[in-house]
Amino acid sequence: MTRVVVVGHGMVGARFVDDLHARDSQKRFTTTVLGAEEYEPYNRVLLSDVVAGRMDVASIALPRGSHKAGHEVLPGMTAVLIDRTVRTVTDQAGEEHAYDVLVQAAGARARVPDLFGRRGADDLPAGAHALRTLDDAREIVAATVNARRAVVVGGGVLGLEVACGLAGRGLHVTVVHGGAHLMDRQLDAAAASVATARLTALGVSVRVGARTEEAIVRGGRITGVRLEAGETIPADLLVLTAGTVAEVDLAQRAGLDVARGIVVGDDLATLADHRVFAIGDCAQPPEGGSGLIAQGWDQARRLATRLTASTPEEALPSVGTDVVKVKGAGLDVVTMGVCGVPRGEAVPGRRVQLSDPDGGRHIEVVVDDGRVIGATCVGAGAVAADLVAAYTRGTPAPLDPAQLLLRPVAGSAVPAASPVKMPDRAVICRCNGVTKGDIVGCWRHGSRSVEDVAATTRATTGCGGCKDAVCGIVDWLKQTDPDQPAQAREPAAAR
Ligand SMILES: Cc1cc2nc3c(=O)[nH]c(=O)nc-3n(C[C@H](O)[C@H](O)[C@H](O)COP(=O)(O)OP(=O)(O)OC[C@H]3O[C@@H](n4cnc5c(N)ncnc54)[C@H](O)[C@@H]3O)c2cc1C
């Protein structure tokens, strides 16, 4: 038996354990998982929907494998020490867990800006919250009951999702962002100004180029924040969305290489110890950590395959895993590939733009060698869906790339996102690497609903951004292939 100890029972640690047992046909592995959180693993990506009131906590549980034998989970148990000489992990209760293979999947924690003197994330004044865990989301939702004014510190993707969610709950929200404009990692100034106008229309105030200097606390409670420029913004709720910090302390104390994350090679093993691996948000692979779930789930699958098989499995093609979508009610922003490059600076290939601030739209497409290599879409839902399809599938771009900026007139052509035109290899669920062919395979083996497809392939169980596309394919199959008999071969299994 090979004893595998996993530190962290989040989205990636849980997926790794499922993948490992599913591939371990000879029952060669036992797994012990230490999870600092008390809960069953849940879909962290959907916490902003919980804050917005679009989902409740009960509906974000992750689907789990059915393995029981040889698998132990210790919820609410933090790993405090790794001893690589005797190959043990010690938990907070002092118990030692011996391993042959150690997998670190400890994720990341919210970065807490220096606004509170010496206080860290676990010691914030009443009314101040980060958003990383289920508890954080619950506390923010509870705080909205009595709060009227909220300040969100950080105008990146998560900050905008939170701002929209709180505004939707009726709070007056101000986003304070230190960068020159919102989402400056993904948007250029022109795109950001359209997004800012949209936020303003939703009742959200925006301060950019503004650094928070100090949280104002009276009687142990947040009453506002002071900006470096001197302005004070009153608030009874302060939400910190200023980035994340990889959990590396345990690895560092164990003498492993750490930089922004735990440094691993292409094989996901740490540089100093081939028995110790790191995956998910705590890891720093050669291509860099993205902080996105598709990368962590791909690593989980690769590591499970590597441990159970003699030939290592290739990474899924990385194209499409950098699509960023703001999950904010009333704010529609999608970026991918080459984006956010200021006007006047060179990009590879050619870029075309539709700038329509009065219509609340801004679309930019970058095309190189006949393919879409990047795009920015603000306020352009259907066009954004087509561009994501073109980008992730690498379909040929039209000779005149300006045609990508608008949808074809109804009836004149089949849009790129239509299942009719889609090749079987087209990736539909980027988080889980599920293709159209996988979904059609499911249908042929008896799946008849989106829920069936999700249970078999895991499509839709990540960020949920592919739900419309999966529904579209299932509806298309209902019409075109209603009586497809079940075939003898195995259904397309979750990968
Ligand atoms: C609100 C929000 C929205 C997001 N939206 C998106 C999105 O739209 N798309 C996207 O791709 N990604 C999104 N993300 C990022 C995504 O959630 C992460 O990439 C993903 O959760 C990483 O999984 P992980 O298992 O590596 O880390 P985590 O999910 O953070 O899990 C790590 C687990 O390890 C535990 N742990 C830490 N230290 C120890 C220890 N010493 N002992 C035991 N347990 C420990 C932690 O408590 C945690 O439970 C979002 C994140 C947040 C917070």
**pLDDT per residue as tens digits for the range 219-256:** 999 999 999 989 999 999 999 999 999 999 999 999 99
Protein residue whose Cα sits closest to atom 10 of ligand 1: 292
Tell me: pLDDT of 410 over 60. Answer: no
In this prediction, residue 190 carries a pLDDT of: 94
Tell me if 158 CB under 6 Å of ligand 1: yes
CA of 450 to the centre of ligand 1 (A): 26
Protein residue whose Cα sits closest to atom 35 of ligand 1: 8
In this prediction, residue 300 carries a pLDDT of: 96
pLDDT band at 316 (very low <50, low <70, confident <90, very high): low
Tell me: pLDDT of 469 over 90. Answer: no
Tell me: the pLDDT tens digits for 159-215?
999 999 999 999 999 999 999 999 999 999 999 999 999 999 999 999 999 999 999
Protein residue whose Cα sits closest to atom 15 of ligand 1: 292
Tell me: pLDDT of 491 over 60. Answer: no
Q: What is the mean pLDDT of residues 141-169?
A: 96
Q: Which atom belonging to ligand 1 lies closest to the Cα atom of 10?
A: 31
Cα separation, 23 vs 305, in Å, equals 7
Q: Which atom belonging to ligand 1 lies closest to the Cα atom of 110?
A: 53
Enter the tokens of residue 115. Answer: 């606004």
Q: Which atom belonging to ligand 1 lies closest to the Cα atom of 14?
A: 25
- β partners of residue 375: 336, 365
CA distance to 90, 92, 247, 486, per residue, from 97 (Å): 6, 12, 20, 46
Q: Which atom belonging to ligand 1 lies closest to the Cα atom of 280?
A: 26
In this prediction, residue 32 carries a pLDDT of: 97
Q: Edge-to-edge strands of the sheet including 232-234? A: 212-218, 221-227, 232-234
In this prediction, residue 433 carries a pLDDT of: 85
Cα separation, 254 vs 87, in Å, equals 11
Q: Which atom belonging to ligand 1 lies closest to the Cα atom of 79?
A: 42
Ligand 1 pocket test, candidate residues 40, 45, 55, 166, most atoms within 8 A of CB? 45
Helix (H) or strand (E) holding 376: strand 371-378
Q: Which atom belonging to ligand 1 lies closest to the Cα atom of 249?
A: 41
Q: Which atom belonging to ligand 1 lies closest to the Cα atom of 13?
A: 25
Phi-psi region of 226 (alpha: psi -120 to 50; beta: other; left: phi over 0): beta
In this prediction, residue 385 carries a pLDDT of: 87
Q: What is the mean pLDDT of residues 442-446?
A: 88
- Contact criterion met (CB below 8 Å) for 51 and 141: yes
Q: What is the mean pLDDT of residues 379-400?
A: 88
Percent over 90 (pLDDT), the chain: 67
In this prediction, residue 63 carries a pLDDT of: 78
Numbers of helices and strands, H then E, in the chain:
11, 27
Protein residue whose Cα sits closest to atom 29 of ligand 1: 10
Lowest mean pLDDT among 107-111, 191-195, 307-311, 354-358: 307-311
Ligand 1 pocket test, candidate residues 281, 430, 432, 467, most atoms within 8 A of CB? 281
Tell me if 416 CB under 6 Å of ligand 1: no
Ligand 1 pocket test, candidate residues 6, 11, 95, most atoms within 8 A of CB? 11
Protein residue whose Cα sits closest to atom 27 of ligand 1: 107
Lowest mean pLDDT among 182-186, 279-283, 434-438: 434-438
pTM for this prediction: 0.89
- Contact criterion met (CB below 8 Å) for 313 and 319: no
Tell me if 291 CB under 6 Å of ligand 1: yes
Q: What is the mean pLDDT of residues 462-482?
A: 86
CA of 44 to the centre of ligand 1 (A): 6
CA of 40 to the centre of ligand 1 (A): 13
Tell me: pLDDT of 318 over 60. Answer: no
CA of 236 to the centre of ligand 1 (A): 27
Pairwise pLDDT comparison (11 vs 119), residue with the higher score: 11
In this prediction, residue 413 carries a pLDDT of: 45
Q: What is the mean pLDDT of residues 285-299?
A: 93
- The string over 420-446, giving b where at least 16 C-beta atoms fall within 10 Å of a residue's C-beta and e elsewhere, is eebeeebbbbbbbbbbbebbbbbbbbe
In this prediction, residue 489 carries a pLDDT of: 42
CA torsion through residues 234, 155, 200, 463, sign: negative
In this prediction, residue 490 carries a pLDDT of: 45
Lowest mean pLDDT among 291-305, 398-412, 441-455: 398-412
Tell me: pLDDT of 67 over 90. Answer: no
In this prediction, residue 287 carries a pLDDT of: 92
Percent over 70 (pLDDT), the chain: 92
Helix (H) or strand (E) holding 7: strand 2-7
Pairwise pLDDT comparison (322 vs 411), residue with the higher score: 322
CA of 246 to the centre of ligand 1 (A): 10
Protein residue whose Cα sits closest to atom 49 of ligand 1: 10
Tell me: the pLDDT tens digits for 79-131?
999 999 999 999 999 999 999 999 999 999 999 988 887 666 677 899 999 99
CA torsion through residues 95, 101, 107, 113, sign: positive
Tell me: pLDDT of 488 over 50. Answer: no
Pairwise pLDDT comparison (320 vs 116), residue with the higher score: 116
CA of 397 to the centre of ligand 1 (A): 36
Tell me: pLDDT of 487 over 70. Answer: no
Tell me: pLDDT of 474 over 80. Answer: yes
Q: What is the mean pLDDT of residues 126-145?
A: 95
In this prediction, residue 98 carries a pLDDT of: 98
Q: Considering the chain, what is the average pLDDT of its residues?
A: 90
In this prediction, residue 120 carries a pLDDT of: 63
Lowest mean pLDDT among 9-18, 135-144, 171-180, 419-428: 419-428
DSSP string, 321-341: TT-EE--BTTB-EEEEES--P
Tell me if 289 CB under 6 Å of ligand 1: no
Tell me if 250 CB under 6 Å of ligand 1: yes
Enter the tokens of residue 365. Answer: 């497409």
Q: What is the mean pLDDT of residues 368-381?
A: 93
Coil, strand or helix at 372: strand
Protein residue whose Cα sits closest to atom 6 of ligand 1: 45
Q: Which atom belonging to ligand 1 lies closest to the Cα atom of 41?
A: 49
Tell me if 261 CB under 6 Å of ligand 1: no
